[in-house]
Amino acid sequence: MKDITCKTCQQKVHGRNNQIYCSQKCKNEFHNDKYRKRHVNALTTLKVIMNNAKKMEKLYMRYGDVALNSKVFIASGVEPGYTNFTRTDGLFEFDDWGLKEIGEDLYKIVAPRTHKRNE
Protein backbone atom coordinates (compact mmCIF):
# COMPACT_ATOMS: atom_id res chain seq x y z
CA MET A 1 0.00 0.00 0.00
CA LYS A 2 1.38 3.38 -0.99
CA ASP A 3 1.40 6.42 1.27
CA ILE A 4 -1.52 8.70 0.44
CA THR A 5 -2.04 12.12 1.98
CA CYS A 6 -5.41 13.84 2.39
CA LYS A 7 -6.13 16.51 -0.25
CA THR A 8 -7.42 18.87 2.43
CA CYS A 9 -5.33 18.52 5.58
CA GLN A 10 -2.27 16.66 4.21
CA GLN A 11 -2.49 13.96 6.91
CA LYS A 12 -1.82 10.32 6.07
CA VAL A 13 -4.91 8.51 4.77
CA HIS A 14 -5.76 5.06 6.16
CA GLY A 15 -8.15 2.74 4.38
CA ARG A 16 -8.73 1.92 0.72
CA ASN A 17 -5.97 2.37 -1.85
CA ASN A 18 -8.06 4.87 -3.83
CA GLN A 19 -9.17 6.92 -0.83
CA ILE A 20 -8.39 10.64 -1.25
CA TYR A 21 -9.59 12.21 2.02
CA CYS A 22 -8.94 11.18 5.60
CA SER A 23 -12.53 11.93 6.69
CA GLN A 24 -15.95 13.02 5.49
CA LYS A 25 -15.27 16.42 7.07
CA CYS A 26 -12.16 16.94 4.89
CA LYS A 27 -14.04 15.78 1.80
CA ASN A 28 -16.88 18.24 2.48
CA GLU A 29 -14.44 21.06 3.21
CA PHE A 30 -12.60 20.43 -0.07
CA HIS A 31 -15.78 20.41 -2.17
CA ASN A 32 -17.33 23.41 -0.38
CA ASP A 33 -14.16 25.42 -1.02
CA LYS A 34 -14.16 24.32 -4.66
CA TYR A 35 -17.82 25.42 -4.97
CA ARG A 36 -17.11 28.83 -3.38
CA LYS A 37 -14.20 29.46 -5.75
CA ARG A 38 -16.24 28.42 -8.79
CA HIS A 39 -19.25 30.56 -7.84
CA VAL A 40 -17.54 33.54 -6.22
CA ASN A 41 -19.26 36.12 -8.47
CA ALA A 42 -22.73 34.65 -7.99
CA LEU A 43 -22.30 34.38 -4.22
CA THR A 44 -20.99 37.96 -3.99
CA THR A 45 -23.87 39.28 -6.09
CA LEU A 46 -26.43 37.39 -3.99
CA LYS A 47 -24.92 38.78 -0.79
CA VAL A 48 -25.14 42.37 -2.13
CA ILE A 49 -28.77 41.84 -3.23
CA MET A 50 -29.69 40.54 0.23
CA ASN A 51 -27.91 43.50 1.88
CA ASN A 52 -29.77 45.86 -0.47
CA ALA A 53 -33.07 44.28 0.63
CA LYS A 54 -32.20 44.80 4.31
CA LYS A 55 -31.31 48.43 3.65
CA MET A 56 -34.54 48.93 1.68
CA GLU A 57 -36.49 47.59 4.65
CA LYS A 58 -34.74 50.01 7.01
CA LEU A 59 -35.45 52.93 4.67
CA TYR A 60 -39.09 51.87 4.37
CA MET A 61 -39.45 51.66 8.15
CA ARG A 62 -37.97 55.15 8.44
CA TYR A 63 -39.66 56.97 5.52
CA GLY A 64 -42.63 54.82 4.49
CA ASP A 65 -44.29 55.36 1.11
CA VAL A 66 -42.81 58.78 0.34
CA ALA A 67 -40.77 59.55 -2.77
CA LEU A 68 -37.04 59.64 -2.11
CA ASN A 69 -34.12 61.04 -4.06
CA SER A 70 -31.54 58.53 -5.31
CA LYS A 71 -28.95 60.18 -3.06
CA VAL A 72 -30.85 58.90 0.00
CA PHE A 73 -30.52 55.32 -1.24
CA ILE A 74 -26.86 55.66 -2.09
CA ALA A 75 -26.09 57.38 1.24
CA SER A 76 -27.75 54.49 3.09
CA GLY A 77 -25.55 51.98 1.28
CA VAL A 78 -27.96 50.60 -1.34
CA GLU A 79 -26.00 49.52 -4.41
CA PRO A 80 -28.41 50.19 -7.30
CA GLY A 81 -26.37 48.19 -9.81
CA TYR A 82 -27.24 44.98 -7.97
CA THR A 83 -30.84 43.90 -8.51
CA ASN A 84 -32.15 40.42 -9.02
CA PHE A 85 -34.80 41.50 -11.52
CA THR A 86 -35.97 44.55 -13.46
CA ARG A 87 -39.59 44.28 -14.55
CA THR A 88 -40.99 45.73 -17.77
CA ASP A 89 -42.98 48.27 -15.74
CA GLY A 90 -39.68 49.71 -14.44
CA LEU A 91 -39.74 48.15 -10.97
CA PHE A 92 -36.29 47.15 -9.73
CA GLU A 93 -36.42 44.17 -7.38
CA PHE A 94 -34.04 43.57 -4.50
CA ASP A 95 -35.00 40.14 -3.18
CA ASP A 96 -38.66 40.73 -2.18
CA TRP A 97 -38.39 44.54 -2.01
CA GLY A 98 -38.96 46.82 -4.96
CA LEU A 99 -37.91 50.27 -6.10
CA LYS A 100 -40.18 52.14 -8.50
CA GLU A 101 -39.09 55.25 -10.38
CA ILE A 102 -41.90 57.80 -10.09
CA GLY A 103 -40.18 60.91 -11.40
CA GLU A 104 -36.87 62.39 -12.38
CA ASP A 105 -34.46 61.02 -9.75
CA LEU A 106 -37.39 60.15 -7.43
CA TYR A 107 -38.08 56.63 -6.29
CA LYS A 108 -40.65 54.91 -4.09
CA ILE A 109 -39.96 51.78 -2.08
CA VAL A 110 -42.39 48.96 -2.79
CA ALA A 111 -42.68 46.70 0.23
CA PRO A 112 -43.54 43.01 -0.03
CA ARG A 113 -47.24 42.28 0.42
CA THR A 114 -46.56 40.48 3.67
CA HIS A 115 -44.63 43.37 5.26
CA LYS A 116 -46.31 45.67 7.75
CA ARG A 117 -44.79 49.00 8.69
CA ASN A 118 -44.64 49.90 12.39
CA GLU A 119 -46.24 53.30 12.90
Q: What is the pLDDT of residues 16-72, one digit of tens each?
A: 888 999 999 999 999 999 998 999 999 899 999 999 999 999 999 999 889 999 999
Collapsing DSSP to helix, strand or coil, 107 comes out as strand
> Where in the chain are the domains?
56-110
pLDDT value of residue 54: 94
pLDDT tens figures, 59-68? 999 998 899 9
What CA–CA distances, in Å, run from 13 to 20, 23, 34, 38, 78? 7, 9, 21, 27, 48
